[in-house]
Amino acid sequence: MDSSMEERVGKDVRSEPIQILGINKNYEYMVQATPEGCEQTSPASVPLFEFFKATTYPEGEMITCAPSKDGEVNIEDSSTHATTETEVRESKKLQPDKIEKMRQAAEIHRQARFDIQRFIRPDMSLTDIAVRIENTTRALSGKFNNYDLNRGWGFPTGLSLNSIAAHYTPNTDDQVYLRKGDVLKVDFGTQIDGYIIDSAFTVYFDPKFEMLAKAVQEATETGIRASGAEAHLGDIGGAIQEVMESYEVELDGTTYPVRSIRNLSGHNILPYQIHGGKGVPIINTYDQQRMEEGEVYAIETFGSTGNGYVHENGVCSHYSRQLRYDVSQMRNLSEKARKLLYSINTKFSSLPFCRRWLDDMGHPDHTMALNQLVNANLVTAYPPLVDRKGCYTAQYEHTIYLHPHRTEVLSRGPDF
């Protein structure tokens, strides 16, 4: 790297201070990041494993929970709970390698967040923001090969503006810029050996959006504290909705209720599979499925000043290969589509990807081949999810792991 680009963390090289709202920066639970005495560069260039050779990665926030007989979860104050020796022994039995890899991915996510929160400002292109996040994630994870399946990106960097709630990342030729009056959802993933951390936050510069962001952040925290082994998924959704929809936001003289986006949800996470098959609703439902010990969940909530319902609209950027498919589905593929599928299998497997990454891989004219894969049901397209035009949406998300009697908020940081 050019030495002129290596500024020590803590030095802000921007010409004027920009206040980024939506980030606490003083969350009550502080996670120790890079071990004392170690210095990271900005942009990040030193893999985290260089700093953690002699120590383990930090655990997330531990929340103690006691499920009642009816499946509801009663939350205790974790700071006053004395963890028993039995609980410690049982926790250590739960696939320690898996937990350590998730904590490593979580530390990468925290430090990538720290970097982008210092970097982001109005009038930046979303492409520049996405590339910064992806380059930082790659460097921190030691992803020396851009498409190493063992570490690095968990899914495309989501940068969804205003009424777009999810599933937008800039395609190569997109010219979209972040403005002072925008609300931006920053949603990105990190992974080590397929163990994915999925976490998101909202950025805005105008304080009029404070109550929208607060509603969604508090709803996410409610969902986290309602989670635990044996908790009913539908009950968690009810708790989230109650908090979310207790808020209103005044925008330019008009008061809007904050609505949970009812057709979006959190989800469990499996190795190399961002959506594991179980959804965590953000409205009250009759879903009696229970969370189970040892599961990993992304607890994410979306609030809107619009209809509280999203539909697919706009040019697609997000895709994912089917988890399983039959060779017969390839029968009518062109040679170009077969080569593209081979690249997707070797570089991404079942992890989601975006068109910009295909361009970077050497598939610049991939549109027709990609459409063939979608039409053959080998690849699924995930277009942008949009609420009513002119409304604003916000998102907060954390990844949790369910220990016996405790929930670990893996992606917790000093920012949120």
In angstroms, the CA 39 to CA 401 distance is 29
How far is residue 142 CA from its own chain's centroid? 20
Both tokens of 85, joined, read 């020796």
Supply the DSSP string of 6-53, one letter for each residue.
-EETT----SS----BS--S--SSPPP-SPTT---EES--S-GGGT-T
318 is in an annotated binding site: no
Listed in sequence order, the residues at least 6 apart from 207 whose beta carbon sits closer than 8 Å to its beta carbon are: 21
Q: Give phi and psi for 283, each to the nearest 5.
A: -135, 165
- Residue 51 has which token pair? 């700093």
Between CA 264 and CA 276 the distance in angstroms is 15
Which amino acid, residue 108?
A: I
The neighbouring-strand residues paired with 64 are: 406
CB 404 within 8 Å of CB 91: yes
Alpha-carbon distance of 225 to 205, in angstroms, equals 29
Which of 59, 107, 115, 198 is the catalytic position?
198
Q: Spot the catalytic one: 61, 187, 218, 387.
A: 187
Is residue 287 marked as binding? no
85 is in an annotated binding site: no
Interhelix angle 233-244/210-226, nearest 10 degrees:
160
Does the annotation list 397 as a binding residue?
yes
> In 3D, which of 264, 337, 340 has the Cα closest to residue 301?
264
**Active-site pick, 115, 221, 235, 397:** 397
Would you call 267 a catalytic residue per the annotation? yes
C-alpha atoms less than 13 angstroms from C-alpha of 96 in its C-beta half-sphere: 8
Catalytic residue among 109, 267, 363, 398: 267
Catalytic entry in 275, 318, 363, 405: 275
H/E segment holding residue 367: helix 367-375
Is 387 annotated to bind a ligand? Reply is no
**How far is it, in rounded angstroms, from Cα 249 to Cα 194?**
39
- Which class for 215: exposed (0-12), middle (13-18), buried (19 or more C-beta within 10 A)? buried
**300 flagged as catalytic:** yes
Q: Please name the residue ranges forming H helices in 310-392.
A: 335-347, 355-360, 367-375
Radius of gyration of the chain (CA): 21
Instruction: Give the residue numbers marked as catalytic.
Output: 187, 198, 267, 275, 300, 397
- Could you list the residues known to form a binding site, using ranges: 167, 187, 198, 267, 275, 300, 397
- Could you list the residues known to form a binding site for a divalent metal cation, using ranges: 187, 198, 267, 300, 397
- Could you list the residues known to form a binding site for substrate, using ranges: 167, 275
